[in-house]
Amino acid sequence: MAKVRTLILRAPGTNCDEETAFSFEQAGSLVDSAHVNELVRGEKLLSQYQILVIPGGFTYGDDISAGKILANELRLKLGEDIQRFVDGGGLILGICNGFQVLVKAGILPPVENGKSQRLTLAGNDSNSFECRWVYLSVDQKSPCIFTRGISTLYLPVAHGEGKVMAEPETLSELNVVVRYADEGGNVQAGYPHNPNGSADNIAGICDGSGRIFALMPHPERFIRWTQHPRWAREAPRQHGDGFGIFLNAVDWVKSS
């Protein structure tokens, strides 16, 4: 079959696009990078790709609130294109700032019938930028395509607004994929294991199909074992924990 094609979306302030592109290339995908304006002007077409990624960073300086300006651009200028992409079976991955963008654009969880955004990502409880490695527990019942076959992850976080907040009714309806945990897998361990105070220790969610996935930790920062903070002291592995997320996406497209 033809090569899997992935599009990395950029905007002013994006700073994790090259690492994310490299991760997908290592997983076997062809990768293009596009500024959001290239899609708006029709210079690049979303329909030519199977995977869309909104990587980490601080788009538009996180003015107003983290990810809000890019989210408005996607909703108002590219909303129909993105809906066609999703309806056609495309995969969407949002990492850190990408999570914030997908939530505030009403893409995840999906906003339907003109309803307002039901979830947000607010400032960390510590009132500080949190930058550390965290343990994650993967919900084995989740439909998420990106985490198939993965039970735990150890990944870095780097954000100032990562606290998932929503009404209890919305929280109960979420497809939670990953939760912050301690080394033993306890998802109620609290700070600093949960770096932001996120409700229900939520670190990542997906839609009902499992094809739209967003998480605050950075899988693209741990695809090689030598990126692990203890790589010289522990038994080496072929890949870092984050690599499986990219490989699952590419393999799913190949098999679909």
Residue 130 is among the residues annotated as catalytic for this protein:
no
The DSSP secondary-structure symbol of 144 reads -
Query: What beta strand segments (E) does 59-208 contain?
Result: 91-95, 119-122, 130-138, 152-159, 163-166, 175-181, 202-206
CA distance 252 to 249: 5
Token digits for 24? Answer: 């997908």
DSSP 162-184: -EEEE-HHHHHH-EEEEEEE-TT
220 is annotated as an active-site residue: yes
Task: Report how many helices (DSSP H) and strands (DSSP E) the chain contains, helices first.
Answer: 7, 11
Question: Which residue in the list 130, 161, 206, 218 is annotated as catalytic?
Answer: 218
How many CB atoms are located within 10 Å of the residue 106 CB?
Answer: 19
Q: Which of 96, 161, 193, 206 is flagged as catalytic?
A: 96
Rounded to whole angstroms, how far apart are CA atoms 104 and 239?
A: 33
CB 206 within 8 Å of CB 212: yes
Which residues participate in catalysis according to the annotation? 96, 218, 220
